[in-house]
């Protein structure tokens, strides 16, 4: 319920006017969007986050649906969903972000990131791929890296503290970090470790935006710590 209230406030300030004007007359971009135009693009970005980890979560879809209905009512929400189904550019995430960059204020674009983080966490877990997708969206929306970090950090801290104080939280299982079962053999652990280290190695991430590099570095350190912990626990 708290999430719904937060999202309702965000969407209110995003779309409290029936038409939003562009701040720049960039060539090839229309001079104004209606709220329907904005709605369908927010849904497209939400869809990109939902699909980022290869798993379509009913909880995440339900969260988006409830948020729109709660803020706009059944009729407008259903119109937005119908428009999204026929929206020809729903998979052109970068293009959509560029449009919104010239459509919405900076604060509104930051609010979109907050909304997308809530979408990603609606199933109780936010994956690395979802975070990286949101990081790319932030870059295309023209959000400064330090502001993305602030939102990301605040979200992570709030998500962690929601279930209680940090001292009460068990540390994340090293098996979960390495993506293996607790009954995995030493060789399976080593194999998974090698794959993950290669995937998140800093040298491999230099071509990505700084926001994604930071996330990868944090993941790389987490993987190293998990592996060292299992080496001690399993004596290998």
The list of the chain residues with pLDDT below 50 reads 3-4, 13-30, 161-170
Q: What is the pLDDT of residues 94-116, one digit of tens each?
A: 999 999 998 888 888 888 888 89
Report the alpha-carbon distance of residue 185 to residue 73 in Å, rounded: 53
Say yes or no: 32 and 131 in one domain. Answer: yes
What's the whole-model pTM score? 0.60
User: How many domains is the chain partitioned into structurally?
Assistant: 2
Structural domain including 201 reads 170-234
Q: Which of 179, 172, 42, 176 is nearest to 119 (CA)?
A: 42
Q: What is the pLDDT of residues 49-79, one digit of tens each?
A: 999 988 888 889 998 999 888 888 889 989 9
Q: Contact 45/93 with Cβ under 8 angstroms?
A: yes
Say yes or no: 54 and 111 in one domain. Answer: yes
Say yes or no: 43 and 132 in one domain. Answer: yes
Interhelix angle 93-101/35-50, nearest 10 degrees: 140
Among residues 161, 178, 209, the one where a domain terminates is 161
Say yes or no: 157 and 175 in one domain. Answer: no
Say yes or no: 217 and 187 in one domain. Answer: yes
């Amino acid at each position: 319920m708290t999430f719904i209230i937060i999202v309702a406030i965000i969407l209110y300030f995003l779309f409290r006017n029936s038409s939003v004007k562009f701040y720049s007359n960039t060539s090839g971009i229309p001079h104004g969007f209606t709220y329907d135009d904005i709605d369908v693009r927010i849904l497209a970005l939400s869809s990109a986050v939902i699909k980022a980890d290869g798993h379509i979560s009913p909880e995440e879809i339900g969260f988006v649906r409830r948020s729109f209905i709660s803020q706009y009512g059944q009729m407008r929400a259903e119109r937005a969903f119908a428009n999204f189904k026929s929206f020809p550019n729903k998979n052109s995430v970068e293009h959509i972000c560029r449009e919104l960059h010239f459509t919405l204020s900076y604060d509104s674009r930051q609010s979109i990131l907050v909304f997308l983080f809530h979408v990603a966490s609606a199933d109780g877990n936010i994956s690395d791929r979802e975070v990286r997708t949101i990081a790319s969206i932030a870059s295309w929306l023209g959000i400064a890296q330090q502001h993305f970090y602030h939102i990301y950090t605040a979200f992570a801290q709030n998500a962690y503290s929601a279930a209680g104080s940090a001292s009460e939280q068990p540390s994340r299982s090293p098996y979960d970090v390495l993506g293996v079962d607790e009954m995995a053999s030493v060789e399976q652990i080593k194999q998974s470790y090698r794959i993950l280290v290669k995937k998140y190695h800093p040298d491999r991430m230099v071509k990505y935006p700084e926001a994604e590099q930071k996330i990868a570095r944090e993941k790389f350190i987490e993987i190293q710590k998990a592996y060292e912990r299992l080496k001690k626990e399993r004596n290998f």
